[in-house]
Amino acid sequence: MEINKDAKKELRKKILAIRREMTREEVAAGSGRLAEHLFTWPVYQNAKNIMLYLAMPDEPHLDKVISHALAAGKTICVPHMRETRGLMDAAIIANLEDLVVGQFNLLTPNPATLNLLEPSELDLIIVPGVAFDKTGRRLGMGAGYYDRFLLRANKAELIGAAWAAQILETVPTDEHDKPVNYLLTEEGIFPCR
């Protein structure tokens, strides 16, 4: 177990360093291509209730996806981190103005107007990750928020969103790590084998 923990920590450090080298322009251009791939994907087109993440500066940004999905009449949820570390909920947002600056200077749902959706109601979850492998295994930031949440989202299709450089042959995982079924990058959408 300790060997796996160290392997995850080392890999996290290496991949995050690559991600942090990206310029704002590269992030913006890649995010646009990633969104375009998603818009033509039948699973996205048919999904009614979608959860996605609010990006850190060097992650694929999903603002275009949020705007597109809301314009199409879809229900959009973003993570709401509970006071208890490692636990999160799906918070419904009506527009990008429903977000406020929260912990770590990241956008978060406004606690004053919080409206939650049961995870079992989600059709599609776009999952962030530090790294993914081609079988859909995911290396997260290490706090376990998504691993715990995804257990409750039993009917949702799971697609991991990352830069192509974050897709590896294999990533170290533990038994509780939930894999995704598809990978979304600036290069396209790929089913996991």
139 assigned binding-site residue: yes
- Residue 53 carries which side chain, given as an amino acid letter? Y
- Say if residue 138 carries a ligand binding annotation: yes
Q: pLDDT tens for residues 31-77?
A: 999 999 999 999 999 999 999 999 999 999 999 999 999 999 999 99
Q: Name the residue with higher pLDDT: 105 or 164.
A: 164
Query: CA of 14: how far to CAs of 9, 20, 58, 91, 165, in Å?
Result: 9, 10, 14, 32, 11
End-to-end, the C-alpha distance of the chain in Å comes to 25
pLDDT(128) > 70: yes
Q: Which amino acid is at 92?
A: I
Q: Is 8 annotated as a binding residue?
A: yes
The token pair that represents 13 in the structure block? 């450090």
Does the annotation list 29 as a binding residue?
no
Stretch 148-174: mean pLDDT, rounded? 94
Has 12 been labeled as part of a binding site? yes
**Residue 54 in marked binding region:** yes
Indicate whether 117 pLDDT > 90: yes
pLDDT at res. 83: 83
Q: What local confidence, expressed as pLDDT, does residue 157 receive?
A: 97
pLDDT of residue 3: 65
48 is in an annotated binding site: no
pLDDT at 29: 97
Q: Find the helix or strand (DSSP H, E) in which 82 lies.
A: none
The tokens for 142 are 């290490």
For residues 143-181, one letter each, b for 16 or more C-beta atoms within 10 angstroms of the residue's C-beta and e for the rest, the string is ebbbbebbeebeebbbbbbbbeebbbeebbbeeebbbbe
Q: Quick check: 105 pLDDT over 90?
A: no
Q: Which of 117, 65, 118, 121 is nearest to 96 (CA)?
A: 65
- Judge whether 22 is annotated as a binding position: no
Burial, 82: exposed, middle or buried (Cβ in 10 Å; 0-12, 13-18, 19+)?
exposed
- If phi > 0 it is left, if psi is from -120 to 50 it is alpha, else beta; for residue 98 that is alpha
- Which two structure tokens, joined as six digits, stand for 69? 């999905």
Element holding 193 (H helix, E strand): none
pLDDT (mean) for 135-152: 92
* Residue 142, annotated as binding a ligand: yes
11 annotated ligand-binding residue: yes
Alpha carbon of residue 65 to chain centroid: 12
- CA diameter of the chain: 47
List, in order of start, the domains of the chain with CATH numbers.
3-191 (3.40.50.10420)
7: confidence class by pLDDT, cuts 50, 70, 90: confident
Do the annotations mark residue 140 as ligand-binding? yes
Kindly tell me the burial class for residue 68, based on how many C-beta atoms sit within 10 Å of its own C-beta (0-12, 13-18, 19 or more): middle
Q: Is 146 annotated to bind ligand?
A: yes
pLDDT of the residue at 27: 97
Average pLDDT in the 25-29 region?
97
Q: Is 71 annotated as a binding residue?
A: no
